[in-house]
Structure 1
Amino acid sequence: MPLYRFKALTRDGSIVKDQVEFPDLRALYQYIQQEGLVLIKYSSRPVFPWDRLTFKGVSRPELAELCHNLALLVRGGVPLFQALRDLREATPNPRLKKALGVLLQEIRAGNPLSAGMEREKGVFPGIVRSLAALGEETGRLDHTLEEAAQHLYRIHTIITQTKRAMLYPAFVLVAMTGALLFWLLFVLPKILGLFAQMQVALPAPTRFLMVTVSFLQSYIPYLAGAAMVLLVTSLILYRRFPWFRLHIEKILLKLPVVSRVKRSSILAFFFEYLALLLGAGIDILRSFDIMAMNIQSELCKRIIREMREGVLRGEGFRDVASRSGLFSPLDLRMIAVGEETGRLVDQLRYLARHYYEIIQGLVETLSKILEPVLIVVTGLIFLLIVIALIGPIYELISQIH
């Protein structure tokens, strides 16, 4: 499909410039006519791979706002084509503007909104595409788009809260490590060099500190290089190999503090996704497929596939969930009650709110819990350094007396 660049005149006399992919020149003329423009000039060329590259993506809040505004316009009686065109003119994001142009092309060609979203999978995740298709089938597009918007807002909040919970400990740990390395590499060598010139017997802590400082001074470039190589290699493996991500998640779920944050985040995602899809009328097997395609956690993906196979064999949702090892007895009890009473969606929504509140609580309390622990650890390290420095000074003073 060639890329057409054109300059046109609007009804109010202003000039607009744009570039859009069209199947042929006739499609361009139809677009100009429908937009009420007067074509001044145009040019066409093949679409190159770099034309599809964009440095700025579409964030989750931007997509949520788009779905919310589109739902409001459709609910207010605005034709879908006109609503998308208005939103395209209003958005400042070039990537989102391009995606909305694709949606307009599909609707202009007589295709549904979900067909355009399928062409722009990089912008519209699977859950949004599925909800849009469901809304078109049931005639409740405004409702499903609003559900998608609220879901994206909640998911963004969960991710933000989880990052905030992990950011403070990471920041403090990096600051502590930097301060300690500064002392070991720049401050202590000068002081310990003076002690080595003195004719005094050095205590064991001082000798140990001198050996440590000497080792770091000799091998710090190699250690830093090895750490950098390990970090880059880990990032490459994490991005490209699902098995590596799976093992990392299993390790995180065994760490004392991180495990609670990680587990709560995974379960909040799981229950939020499943409650939304089942509440929208999508059957549980299709819901599992959509979740497996869109959820980020490799561990959760594996559990979802295993649960889908169990349900496909005719087992109950609670039974397949109990074998995963991820869900707590409270989760399993709530799921069982939901299955027995026919209110599974309500129970899933309750569990999603429950774990969202847990994450919020962890964000508020984690810093209060870790701060004294980190202070004590830092204090002990510097106490050992002070003891190692005071020993030779005390020995020197004793010899003078």
Structure 2
Amino acid sequence: MPAFAYQALDANGKTLRGVLQGDTARAVRGALRERGLNPLSVGEVNEGGSKSRSVFARRTLGAAQLALLTRQLATLIGAGLPIDEALGALSEQAENERQRGLTVSLRARVMEGASLAQAMAEFPDSFPDIFRATVAAGEQSGQLDRVLEKLADYAEARDALSQKILAALAYPLLLTLVAVAVVTGLLTWVVPQIVGVFQNLHQTLPLATRALIALSAFLRSWGWLLLIALIALATIARLSLRNESTRYRWHALLLRLPLVGRLARAANTARATRTLALLASSAVPLLDALGIAAQVVPNLPMREALKRAAFKVREGSAFSRALGESGQFPPVALRLIASGERSGQLPRMLDEAAAQQQRELDRWMTALTAVLGPAVILAVGAMVLFIVLAILLPIFNLNQMVK
């Protein structure tokens, strides 16, 4: 029985939203009228398909919400509840209509006879390929609760990695924005009021003062044009990166940069190996795992390296050798993978490779944050020093300029 999201008016004219199960939208409208509600819109909860379907279904779950939902489902199934009852319990305690609509729809598909993985496949924006493949393997092996626990750990680790990168970059970025705002304010408002006095003396000003006056005049006259140009360049760059070949060249350039390349390589390697560890430990075939892992790696050259490795593994090559031939992955990770292949403990060594790359990324992010902050402060200090000197130099020579 499908699930339908609705909007309806109660007797007081208040708009209510919710999710009901029914055979058809007409049946759901009838059920709402029996409750004394006036239905405004009713749409089937499904992420694909027609435009008339509910807005609840078109919104995806965030990483933290997905991790929480997965862990709760694992706990309930581990406690012995059938999947449909576990999903029903989750729908009752859902925090918002989006989660409630999703869990109700999943429960409806499961009650129709679909597996949990098949039900998730109807919501690809909320449940990525790795979730669907891993859940399918867990259902086949009879270890769905354990697999869901690993999926929850994976989702939380991936979200923590993203949050850690954002937190590390937030301070230097905020400092840069404040510095640009301060310097721009000095040049466009403070400097003109001070150096305007020197221009009336009709004497040759020091080079630094003339440069400061010219820069201030340019920003006051053409600052708006400069801002428009920067916005236009950012828009053009963003549109250009939608082209896969352009994005591939940009990602390849990032990997060649001294520090940024190391960070990008570590982050993408950690994501790939963690995904492979989860899939391999859940009995997903290696070739299928490589295809899924390639989709979760955002860097295109490294994604292509995983796809080529899958092709070579299909031809009989060892996984570590196939991955190493691309030259895109760190040697330490490749050695750990090779050790796992020789010992028959590939999932554990893949997990160890992910942890090692995570430590490497944390170390470099800490170093980068420690360098960028003082560097921005020094740059701002140098600019302010230049402004102060450019203003003071004419004052030092004021007696000669007056004579």
TM-score, scaled relative to structure 2: 0.86
Whether the aligned pair in 2 keeps the contact of 1:200 and 1:395 (CA below 8 Å) is no
Note the 1:51-70 alignment, pairs <5 A. 51-54=53-56, 57-70=60-73
Matched, 1:251 2:290: no
Whether the aligned pair in 2 keeps the contact of 1:6 and 1:19 (CA below 8 Å) is no
Equivalent residue for 2:113, pick from 107, 110, 114: 110
Equivalent residue for 1:232, pick from 229, 232, 235: 235
Greater shift, 304-313 or 100-109, is seen at 304-313
Matched, 1:95 2:84: no
1:170-207 deviation digits (Å, cap 9, x = unpaired): 22222222211111211112222221111332111122
Change (3 A) 1:41 1:377: closer
Q: Aligned letter for 1:390?
A: L
Greater shift, 85-94 or 304-313, is seen at 304-313
Whether the aligned pair in 2 keeps the contact of 1:200 and 1:392 (CA below 8 Å) is no
Change (3 A) 1:108 1:243: same
Deviation at 1:153, TM superposition (A): 0.7
Matched, 1:335 2:309: no
Whether the aligned pair in 1 keeps the contact of 2:67 and 2:151 (CA below 8 Å) is yes
Matched, 1:122 2:129: no
Give the corresponding residue for 1:36.
Answer: none
Distance 2:82 2:27 in 1: 21
Equivalent residue for 2:372, pick from 370, 373, 382: 370
Gaps of 5+ in 1: 8-15, 33-38
Equivalent residue for 1:307, pick from 306, 309, 317: 309
Change (3 A) 1:234 1:6: closer
Distance 1:163 1:245 in 2: 21
Q: Aligned letter for 2:296?
A: N
Distance 1:46 1:318 in 2: 49
Q: Aligned letter for 1:108?
A: M
Q: Matched residues, percent identical?
A: 26
Q: Aligned letter for 2:250?
A: I
Deviation at 1:41, TM superposition (A): 7.2
Give the corresponding residue for 1:11.
Answer: none
Deviation at 1:297, TM superposition (A): 3.2
TM-score, scaled relative to structure 1: 0.86
Secondary structure in 2 aligned to 1:202?
coil
Distance 2:164 2:107 in 1: 36
Give the corresponding residue for 1:282.
Answer: 284
Whether the aligned pair in 2 keeps the contact of 1:58 and 1:93 (CA below 8 Å) is no
1:299-357 deviation digits (Å, cap 9, x = unpaired): 33222212212222322222222232222222222222222222222221111111222
Greater shift, 193-202 or 144-153, is seen at 193-202
Q: Aligned letter for 2:166?
A: K
Whether the aligned pair in 2 keeps the contact of 1:200 and 1:396 (CA below 8 Å) is no
Distance 1:376 1:303 in 2: 40
Note the 1:2-401 alignment, pairs <5 A. 3=4, 18-20=18-20, 22-24=22-24, 40=35, 49-54=51-56, 57-238=60-241, 240-399=242-401
Give the corresponding residue for 1:12.
Answer: none
Distance 2:105 2:60 in 1: 16
1:265-285 deviation digits (Å, cap 9, x = unpaired): 111101111111111111111
Give the corresponding residue for 2:13.
Answer: none
Deviation at 1:364, TM superposition (A): 3.8
Give the corresponding residue for 2:11.
Answer: none
Greater shift, 147-156 or 251-260, is seen at 251-260
Distance 1:336 1:107 in 2: 41
Change (3 A) 1:86 1:45: closer
Q: Aligned letter for 1:332?
A: L
Deviation at 1:130, TM superposition (A): 1.0
Deviation at 1:66, TM superposition (A): 1.1
Distance 1:3 1:380 in 2: 62
Deviation at 1:21, TM superposition (A): 6.3
Deviation at 1:290, TM superposition (A): 1.4
Secondary structure in 2 aligned to 1:78?
coil
Change (3 A) 1:396 1:319: same
Distance 1:205 1:320 in 2: 59
Whether the aligned pair in 1 keeps the contact of 2:340 and 2:348 (CA below 8 Å) is yes
Distance 1:269 1:27 in 2: 46
Distance 1:360 1:2 in 2: 44
Whether the aligned pair in 2 keeps the contact of 1:278 and 1:284 (CA below 8 Å) is yes
Secondary structure in 2 aligned to 1:51?
coil
Secondary structure in 1 aligned to 2:127?
coil
